[in-house]
A and B are shown apart, each in its own frame.
Chain A
Amino acid sequence: MSLRWLQLLGLYAAAALGLALTLVPLAGLSIRAPWASTLELLQMPSVRSAIGLSFAVSGAATLLSLLLGFPLAWLLARVSIPGKRWLRTLLTLPLVLPPVVAGVALLAAFGRYGLLGASLDAVGIRLPFTTLAAVLAATFVSAPLLITSLESALLQAEVRLEQVAASLGASPWHSFWTVLMPSIRPALLAGLALCWARALGEFGATITFAGNLEGRTQTLPLAIYQLLQSRPEAALLLGALLLVVSVLVLASLRGHRPAP
C-alpha cells in the first residue's frame, strides 16, 4: 500500500472515532431508554413538576436574556463607547466559565453572605434556593449566546436602509419594526433558540446557586441526575426526551446558526 493510501486510511479512522464519540452515547440513550413507559413516567409528580419548572425557568431566562441582552447588543453594535472590546469579552465570559463556578459566583454576589446578600436581605429578598435563583443561573450562562447572535446581526444590518426609511417619514420606532426587524429576524430567532436550549440544559450553576429542591428549583437536568440514583431507567427516558427537544431546536435553526 502506498503512503497516500495509509494517510487516507488514518484520516478516515480518526474521523470515524470522532463520529463514534458523538454517535455512540446518543445511540445508547435512544436505544436503552424505555420508550414504552413514557406515559407512566410522565405521570410521576416529581417528573411533571420538573418538566413544568424547566419550561418556566428556561422560558423566563430567555425572556430576561432578550430584555437585558438587546440593549447590550445594540450598545456593542451601534454605539461608539470606550473599552468596547473589553465589554464584549466580559459579556461572553460565561460561555467558557465552568457552570459550577458561575453558580459559586452567583452565590458570592447574591448569597446570604454575598456582596449584595445583606442589602437584599434587608428588603426581604432571599434569592438562593428559589425558582428566581434558577432563572438567574440559567440567564447568566445562556444570555451571551443571544447577545453575540444579536450583535452580529445588528452589525450586518445596513444602517443606510434605516436612514432611507427616515427620509421617507418613518419614525425610529416605525423603522425599527418595518426595516431593521425583518433583517435581523433570522438571527434573533436563532439566538433565542440557542439561548433557550442552553437555559433548558443548565445544571451546574443551578444546582450550586439554586439547589435541587423538588417543585422549586429541580429542573429536568437536576431531576435526571437524581433519578439516575433511584430509577435509572427513568433518567434514561427523560434524557432521551431532552435529546428529542435538542434535535427539534437544531432543526428549527435550519442553517441560521450564527457564528459564535
Chain B
Amino acid sequence: MSLHARVQLSRGSFELDVELSARAGETICLLGPNGSGKSTLVEALAGLLEIESGEIVLDQQTIESPRAGVRLPPQLRPFGVMFQGLWLFPHLSVLDNVAFGPRARGMSRSEARSRAEPLLARLDLERLADRKPPALSGGEAQRVALARALAVEPRALLLDEPLSALDLEARPRTRSLLQQMLQAFDGIRLVITHDPLEALLLADRLVILEEGRILQSGPADEVRRRPRTPYVASLTGVSLLRGELRRKHGTPCLFAEDLELPLPEATMVEGDAVLATVAPNAVELSTEPPQHHQRGLLAGEIESIELAASHTLVRLATRPRLCAEVSSEAVSRQGLRPGLRVWASVDGGAVDIYPR
C-alpha cells in the first residue's frame, strides 16, 4: 500500500507546494514550525481544501486530481484523521464518538458499538464509555480522538499534532501509547508535529516543512545527523555552516563566510561545496582575542543567552551564526551578556562535514 500526494494550493499569500510519498508500515513525521503549512496539508489530504494542481493517489486509486477532474468528497476518502484540537462531538458519549464513523458508514447502532468497544479497551477507555467529552481530561480526549479515527478502519492515518492537547506531564505516557498504536496500525501513518522531540521519537522518516515547501526528507536519523537548513540544525541544537573545502598553505580548510577553519590533515579536499555541523561544545568563547591559531576564529556579538540545567547556550551574531555551550559558572566569570563582543574559536576536529 502506498500514498502519493503532490499538493499545490494557495490561501491568500500563503502557497503550499509539497510532494510526499508514504508506504504502509512506516511512520512519517511531518515536522515544521507553526505556519509552515502542516495543517493545510492535512486538510487538503482529507478533502476539506481543494488542491489547485497535483494529485492524491492511494495505491492505484486517484483520490483527487484537478487535471483528471477527480475529487472524492471527504466522506469517501479512506483516511482516519485526527484534527488538531481533537474536535470530539460534545453531545455524544465516548462510545458513540468512537462508533460515529462506522455508524456514518452504514452500520447499525449495535454493530457500530461492537466495532468501537474493542478500541476503547485497547486505549484504556472502557470505564469512560458513557462520559461526555467535556468531562474528559486532555489525555483521555486525545485517546478518544485516536480511537475514533481508527474505528473507520482507514487505509491511512493522518494525525495532526496528536499530543498538543496534553500538558507536559501527561505527554510521555500518552506518547508511548501512541507509539504502540501506530506500530500496530498496518496502513500508512502520517503524523504532523511542531515538536522535534516528538518527531524524532515517532518517525521512521522525517519530512521537514517550512513556508509551504519541503526542505529536507529522509530517514529520521539521517535528517538529524545531516541537517540541510538552519531550522533543521536548530532542532538538535547544532550550528550549520555552508562553505567550501580548500587547501591554504597546504592545510585543508573549511571556508564559510568569515570563518576560515583549519581541518585535520587527513580530511579529503576537492574544492567541494559542503555543509558542516558544529556541536555547541566544540565552540569556545573568550572575551580577549585568543592566541592559538590552529582553530578557526570568529568575532561577533552575543545575541542571546539561554540557561539550561547543566549548561548555558550562547547564540552569536557571527557570520556564519554559531551556538556555543559554556558552563553556567563561565557566564558570570566572563561577564557574558547579550551585546558583548566575544571571540569564538572552533575545533576543526569536531566538525562534521558532508556534501551540499
Contact = CB atoms under 8 A, between A and B. Distances in A.
Interface of A: 158, 160-161, 163-171, 174-175, 178-179, 182-183
A2 to B, nearest CB: 50
B75 A164 contact: no
Nearest to B151: A168
B87 A160 contact: yes
20 contacts: A161-B87, A161-B89, A164-B81, A164-B89, A165-B89, A166-B73, A166-B74, A166-B75, A167-B74, A167-B79, A168-B101, A168-B104, A168-B148, A168-B149, A168-B152, A169-B75, A169-B76, A169-B152, A175-B104, A179-B89
A165 B48 contact: no
Interface in B52-106: 73-77, 79, 81, 83, 85, 87, 89-91, 100-101, 104-105
Contacts of B76: 169
A167 B89 contact: no
A226 B322 CA distance: 93
Interface in B29-70: 46-48
Interface in B159-193: none
Given A158-B87, A183-B90, 18 more contacts: A161-B89, A163-B48, A164-B87, A166-B48, A166-B73, A167-B48, A167-B75, A167-B79, A167-B83, A168-B148, A168-B152, A169-B75, A170-B75, A171-B75, A174-B104, A175-B104, A182-B91, A183-B91
Query: 4 smallest A-B Cβ distances: which pairs?
Result: A170-B104, A168-B101, A166-B74, A169-B105
A188 to B, nearest CB: 14
A40 B76 CA distance: 64
A160 B81 CA distance: 12
A178 to B, nearest CB: 7
Which interface residue of A165, A175, A183 has the most chain B CB atoms within 10 A?
A165
A160 B100 contact: no
B40 to A, nearest CB: 14
Contacts of A168: 75, 100-101, 104, 148-149, 152
A169 B104 contact: yes
B104 A165 contact: yes
B46 A165 contact: no
Which interface residue of A163, A169, A171, A174 has the most chain B CB atoms within 10 A?
A169
Contacts of B149: 168
A165 B149 CA distance: 11
A175 B47 CA distance: 16
Nearest to A166: B74
Contacts of A167: 46-48, 74-75, 77, 79, 81, 83
| Tier of interface size on chain B | 20 to 34
Interface of B: 46-48, 73-77, 79, 81, 83, 85, 87, 89-91, 100-101, 104-105, 148-149, 152
B142 to A, nearest CB: 14
B51 to A, nearest CB: 16
A98 B100 CA distance: 49
Contacts of B152: 168-169
A178 B104 CA distance: 9
Contacts of B101: 168-169
Contacts of A178: 100, 104
B100 A165 contact: yes
Contacts of A158: 87
Contacts of A182: 91
A88 B100 CA distance: 36
Contacts of B75: 166-171
A174 B104 CA distance: 7
Contacts of A166: 47-48, 73-75
A185 to B, nearest CB: 9
A164 B47 CA distance: 11
A139 B232 CA distance: 64
A163 B74 contact: yes
A186 to B, nearest CB: 11
Which interface residue of B75, B105, B152 has the most chain A CB atoms within 10 A?
B75
Nearest to B101: A168
Contacts of B91: 182-183
Which interface residue of A158, A161, A166, A175 has the most chain B CB atoms within 10 A?
A166
A169 B77 CA distance: 8
Contacts of A160: 83, 85, 87
Nearest to B104: A170
Contacts of B77: 167
A161 B81 CA distance: 12
Nearest to A158: B87
Contacts of B100: 165, 168, 170, 178
A158 B133 CA distance: 15
A164 B104 contact: no
A90 B81 CA distance: 42
B87 A171 contact: no
A187 to B, nearest CB: 14
A38 to B, nearest CB: 42
B86 to A, nearest CB: 9
Contacts of B74: 163, 166-167
B288 to A, nearest CB: 59
Nearest to B84: A160
A160 B48 CA distance: 10
Contacts of B87: 158, 160-161, 164
B132 to A, nearest CB: 12
Contacts of B46: 163, 167
A183 B77 CA distance: 26
